[in-house]
Structure 1
Amino acid sequence: MTAEFIEALLDARRPVIMELKRQDAAGADLFGGRSAARLVADYQDVGAPCLSVVTGRWFGGTPELLREVVAATDLPVLQKDFITRRDQLHQARESGASAVLLTAALLPRATLGHLVELGLRLGLTPFVEVTTEEEISRVPRAEECVIAVNNKDIADRERGAGDLGRSSSLLPAVLGSGTRCPVSAGAIRSPDDAARLLEEGFAGVLVGTGLLRTPSLPAWLDGLDARRGTRVDTRHEPAPPPNHRHPEVTA
């Protein structure tokens, strides 16, 4: 279902896309001896609404990493790679991805349009990464896409510190595109960073290195809750009452 990834994020009490990335931009290890399955379990324990998997070789990724993650979870999964061809979308769908990264800076208008259209037909949510207003203006069917502002620059292989101000300045244009799901991605290191972006109006944030390097994932997210003035118990939902019956599902 195409909207699966978007709905999971919009319905989340903690709208954080939690990322699995083997290496940072400098090549430093981020898994720290942990398996993909272990990281997935850790993210699920703290209530991740959806996951991101970096399969791009800049960050030590492989297609096998995506398959490992998909096999370990029922959560919607975003594949992050430099997708430029139609066959890559078919491969993503076959590997179990729910959403795919499309980098507007790399794709001419016509190519971006073709990939968005094909992705939607395959049941994939286009996660379109933008860095300028011009790139935002080229996204077709934006209401069915995630529009994600990348706070880093691919021109330097995302090795710089990044600029969260880019998200703040582009948010009006992102909202003007018609997307239901504006996201800020990259360079989000602290709970305060994430909370501020959510307060500004982003529907979600994507955090990779900040979560993979934190000494305590629950503490990082507790800090986010405190900054937002919320308290979330992600491990236990109330049990249904005795003899509870689910409502009938109608088409």
Structure 2
Amino acid sequence: MKLTTVFLTSVCALGISFSAHSALIEADLNGVFDTLEIGSGPYQTGDDIFSGFFQYNSNTPVSEYSYKDEKYDFKYYSGSYADAFTEFSFMLGGDRYHLSDYGPNSITISGYVQYAEEDGTEFHSEYYDMSFSAWLETDSGDKVKIGFQAYDGIRNTITGPLFSLPIDGNGPNSGSYMYLEGYNVDGEMTYRYGSTYNSDYFVFREVPEPATYAMLLLGGLGLVARRLKRA
């Protein structure tokens, strides 16, 4: 086997390997805002259905924080991922919003660890809180901020370090809340909607990165070209 064949085969194998361990996670959003909390907004509460999806990079560096509660022998922790979003598409009342660099975007995972009294063994909670905030804007430049808070929002999905973004599964499974804030050109908030969230429409799924597709295509085309040349 010549060196070129070995190289192209390796590229294909590497691409397949990467696609099985992708860093991009995608999740869906669907629901309605049922309360106008501040100001006068452009949407009808309970009538304008919002939908969309977002992607985030699960390998984003995390800023960790934790502290020990000596009284109850708990260790509380959280991990904050700054600028983890890679794509965010949001549709509401005929307006389509996309990810903006107007302000910081972040995702936070938090939970706690309890210690056994006998030997100090850690008991990791199966329930994790998740929250995020993201700046979006329309093609015309209208800016909104979306925030999401879920208590016990992720269950049985974190198998890695304590500060881990989920790579699969459904959520949230318990109480959750979502809000939408609108801002004027001076950066002042003019309205705010709130929504109770339906967990049935929140699904995490792993998706291949664009680089993975490119590597697979390159390797496949190369092997096809080599076969045609030999024929």
Which category describes the TM-score, using the shorter chain as reference length? under 0.3
Choose between structure 1 and 2 for higher RCO, CA contacts under 8 A separated by at least 6 residues: 2
TM-score (norm 2): 0.23
Q: Greater share of helix residues, 1 or 2?
A: 1
TM-score (norm 1): 0.22
Q: Greater share of strand residues, 1 or 2?
A: 2
